[in-house]
């Protein structure tokens, strides 16, 4: 804690082995340097080839200090995770997927004697998945969560800045922090909204800096030119980046009092893609 406020870091999409290695290298550094009370990380791209997640990787994140792992549209890429989702709440899938899907999009964790709520939702604009309205889903979740805590964090996995900002303003004053994920590009609009909610349109990612969303650019560019399908591969060439934010929250009111962007670029880390 700092000045009586909880300090929680939220890290953007972890992409494949490079992202996991960056998280492993810097998660403890962040916890020490920022005196963190919680660490949330989006892990939906952390698996092999940069899609999905496994139970083994969930344990890896937890071992390296993650309180909760959020996700998004790639959560279903690895079928092995379905049973884990059904039995655990430290890994979230977007809550506005159909109720028949395994898992949940809301959980809580305890830190410094306080309960912190975490919500994971997915957008609908330019997204392939047919999810229900995130605005209505948020209303329903908050009815449940507000009886437990007023410290609430939202990871909104969505494509457009307009949809992210719209939901943030809709929830302003009802939650402590609203962060966007999915585009893998960290935005520079971090701020405290007037009613005390910390906001950033996108946290960014952990992965290869000179890539396209953590993937090798050549195949993506060929697809853009030819419209022919290509197998996208995780880029393992450095330098590598890890980005996110640290939010300070007044625990009694649940209002955010500060937000600071994190962006670490590592020119020395070596990644052997054969070790995946």
The CATH number that applies at residue 78 is: 3.60.21.10
Provide block-wise average pLDDT over 10 residues at a time, the chain (276 residues). Answer: 93 98 97 97 95 97 98 95 97 96 98 98 92 97 95 98 98 98 98 98 98 95 93 95 98 97 97 73
Confirm if 197 and 177 have CB atoms less than 8 A apart. Answer: yes
CA distance 243 to 254: 24
Instruction: Report yes or no on 186 lying in a domain.
Output: yes
pLDDT for the residue 272: 82
Cβ atoms of 93 and 75 within 8 Å: the answer is yes
78 within domain boundaries: yes
pLDDT in tens, 137-186: 999 999 999 999 999 999 999 999 999 999 999 999 999 999 999 999 99
Owner of token pair 């007023």: 150
Domain that holds residue 50: 6-275
Q: How far apart are CA 177 and CA 164, in angstroms?
A: 12
Q: Which percentage of the chain shows pLDDT scores above 70?
A: 99
* pLDDT at residue 274, as a whole number: 66
In a domain, 42, yes or no: yes
Supply the pLDDT for residue 183.
Answer: 97
For residue 79, being part of any structural domain is answered with: yes
What pLDDT shows up at residue 73?
A: 95
In a domain, 1, yes or no: no
Smallest Cα–Cα separation from 15: which of 267, 230, 268, 237?
Answer: 237
Model pLDDT, residue 1 = 82
* DSSP state for residue 248 in the 8-state scheme: E
Q: Which of 74, 157, 182, 184 is catalytic?
A: 74
Asked if 230 and 223 count as a contact pair (C-beta separation under 8 A), the reply is yes
Q: What is the pLDDT of residue 136?
A: 97
Q: Which ranges in 51-200 belong to alpha helices (H)? A: 55-63, 81-87, 134-145, 161-171
User: In the prediction, which pLDDT does 130 show?
Assistant: 85
Domain contains 111: yes
Q: How far apart are CA 186 and CA 180, in angstroms?
A: 9
Confirm whether 59 is a catalytic residue.
no
Task: Judge whether 118 lies within some domain.
Answer: yes
pTM to 2 decimals?
A: 0.95
Residues 6+ apart with CB under 8 A from 9: 30, 31, 34, 36, 38, 39, 40, 244, 245, 246, 247, 262
Count of structural domains, the chain: 1
């Amino acid at each position: 804690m700092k000045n009586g406020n909880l300090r929680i870091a939220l890290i953007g999409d972890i992409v494949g082995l490079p992202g996991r290695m960056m998280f492993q290298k810097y998660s403890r550094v962040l916890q020490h340097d920022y005196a963190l009370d919680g660490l949330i990380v989006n892990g939906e791209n952390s698996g092999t080839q940069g899609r999905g997640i496994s139970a083994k990787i969930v344990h890896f994140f937890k071992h390296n200090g993650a309180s909760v792992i959020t996700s998004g549209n790639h959560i279903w890429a690895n079928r092995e995770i379905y049973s884990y989702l059904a039995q655990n709440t430290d890994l979230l899938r977007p809550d506005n997927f159909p109720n028949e899907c395994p898992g949940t999009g809301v959980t809580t964790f305890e830190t410094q004697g306080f309960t912190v709520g975490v919500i994971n939702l997915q957008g609908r604009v330019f997204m392939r998945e047919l999810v229900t309205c995130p605005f209505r889903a948020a209303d329903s979740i908050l009815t449940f969560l507000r009886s437990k805590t007023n410290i609430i964090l939202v990871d909104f996995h969505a494509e457009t800045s307009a949809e992210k900002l719209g939901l943030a303003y809709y929830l302003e004053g009802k939650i402590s922090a609203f962060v966007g994920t999915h585009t893998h590009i960290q935005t520079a609009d971090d701020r405290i909204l007037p009613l005390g909610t910390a906001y950033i349109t996108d946290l960014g990612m952990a992965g290869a800096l000179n890539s396209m969303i953590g993937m090798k650019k050549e195949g993506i560019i060929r697809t853009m030119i030819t419209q022919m399908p290509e197998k996208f591969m995780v880029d393992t060439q450095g330098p590598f980046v890890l980005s996110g934010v640290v939010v300070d929250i007044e625990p009694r009111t649940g209002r955010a009092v500060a937000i600071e962007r994190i962006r670490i670029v590592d020119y020395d880390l070596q990644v052997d893609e054969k070790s995946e």
